Amino acid sequence: MEKNFITGMSSVIRLLRPHHYTKNLFVFLPLFFGGQFHNPALLLKAAGAFLAFCLVSGSVYIFNDVMDRKEDRLHPENRKRPVAAGEIGILQASLLDLLLTAGALAVALVVHRDVLLVILGYKLLNVLYSSGLKRIPIFDMMILAAGFVLRLYAGSLSTGIALTEWIIIMTFLLAMLITLGKRRNDVLVMEQEGIVLRSSVKQYNSRFLNYSMLVLSSVIIVAYILYCLDPETVRRVDQNLYVTSIWVVAGILRYLQLLFVAKWNLNPVVLLFRDHPLKIILLAWLLNFLYYLYIS
């Protein structure tokens, strides 16, 4: 009995994919860039928005797995997913989906009425994505990037910290770069091993994605420098904030080096946790930014 319970819980956890919830940390970015991370009341509100996004993220993964169960059964890795493998029934998964969605909406409503609308919009966007939009090239990546921007808005609305156009632009561009990296991994698997991980990859190739990542990387660097030099940013943070762009350039170059030279075919988030130089660069940027934000 106990063994069956543990096995069942393991299947549920794999279904919810909590290791992907690190993306929901984007909810805290308005607090960070607004210099309000030391405010416990605002931090608590942002934490509520973060919880709401974690719950709705779980529901989105469930809906996606239910919709893709037939395709997943033909996939060498995805066939191990709980719904595709028959570990969790469609009815059970659907009920859990509804429960998590209701929980996310309830938490969001407690945080702020407008956060409820953001969570509802995120859920609807992903339902449309899983129902067919993910098969449309370019749009499939734009929808995923838009999800990061919605996380940003949830953080802003929950705390009352206004977003600048630069933060929104950089978040979307960075999310697009991450998504391009994931698509590139899928395309390389298709080109090298003949395994199609998702239908949309058939309309991409590694050359197109490599060029796209180079272009987007350049735009991100320029956007960050313009953000640092923006009069409002200079007034609110520090006139020397542009110095932190050194770490942004270094981080992007290191990321591209790992992909194009070292040929690391990993999920961008996994790559960040595994590569020590990249972690050091990220930490250096964080400390440098915090110095200008709170000390100088």
| DSSP secondary structure code for residue 239 in this structure | T
In sequence order, which residues have a C-beta less than 8 Å from that of residue 62 and are 6 or more positions away? Answer: 15, 16, 83, 93, 94, 96, 97, 100
Structure tokens at 281: 């660069």
Per-residue pLDDT at 1: 53
Burial track 179-208 (b if 16+ CB lie within 10 A, e otherwise): bbbbbbbbbbbbeeeeebbbebbeebeeee
Each residue's pLDDT expressed in tens, for the chain with a length of 296 residues: 555 556 678 888 888 898 889 899 999 999 988 888 889 999 999 999 999 999 999 999 999 999 888 877 876 777 888 888 888 889 999 999 999 999 999 999 999 999 999 999 999 999 999 998 888 889 999 999 999 999 999 999 999 998 889 999 999 999 999 889 888 888 887 888 777 767 778 889 989 999 999 999 999 999 999 999 999 899 988 999 999 999 999 999 999 999 888 887 776 777 877 899 999 999 999 999 999 988 87
- CA quadruple 287, 289, 293, 295: dihedral sign: positive
Q: What is the pLDDT of residues 22-32, one digit of tens each?
A: 899 999 999 98
pTM confidence score: 0.89
Which stretches of the chain are assigned E, i.e. beta strand? none
